[in-house]
Homo-oligomer: A and B are copies of this chain.
């Protein structure tokens, strides 16, 4: 077998583990998604699972979190932001996060469960949010007139705040289903709230 093929197999195995893990989280919750079950469902041996993830479950989440997902937004919309298209851009941004949450529902549930018994994960998460937000603001300032003139630190802090608020609401909506009747209502409310929050932060 060539090295490439081996690598490809390795990737496939890891992907299978992620997939099965999140499927099990959705079906029966984070704590019942055991390593043994994952291995069985993924049709690999438990040894193989620990070979790829020596620390087991927490490592699955941590590495999935590291590679992924949570903090990757589409910048392009924001770069085009100006006075006239604020509403559209905000909606696109919120829709983006919402879509991400829906596609990764299991991940978010798992992550929030894991965080409760693994403080270092929360720590890592917070650092990650800062890091990504910084990069995000940097890039925005480089390319958009709209953001160039604003103070960077403040922009970053604002972005983190907004991002967390939106996440709090969207996560609640997805898991408890008691906030909005449908996604359009959510996007409408949250993007308005985004506007409100920006104004609120400016005043402070």
Contact = CB atoms under 8 A, between A and B. Distances in A.
Interface residues of A, number: 32
A143 interface: no
Interface stretch (A9-17, A73-81, A148-156, A164-172): A164-172
Contacts of A200: 189, 192-193
A113 B175 CA distance: 11
Nearest to A201: B189
Given A113-B116, A117-B31, A169-B169, A164 B193 contact: no
A168 B164 contact: no
B178 A164 contact: yes
Given A169-B168, A200-B192, A109 B113 contact: no
A137 interface: no
A164 B192 contact: no
A164 B179 contact: yes
Nearest to A117: B29
A32 B31 CA distance: 10
B178 A129 contact: yes
A116 B109 contact: yes
B169 A32 contact: no
A182 B161 CA distance: 13
Nearest to A167: B172
Nearest to A130: B178
Contacts of A179: 161, 164-165, 168
A123 B200 CA distance: 35
A126 interface: yes
Interface string A9-42: 0000000000000000000111110000000000
Given A168-B168, A189-B200, 15 more contacts: A28-B117, A29-B116, A30-B116, A31-B31, A32-B117, A116-B175, A122-B176, A126-B178, A164-B176, A164-B178, A164-B179, A165-B169, A168-B172, A192-B196, A196-B196
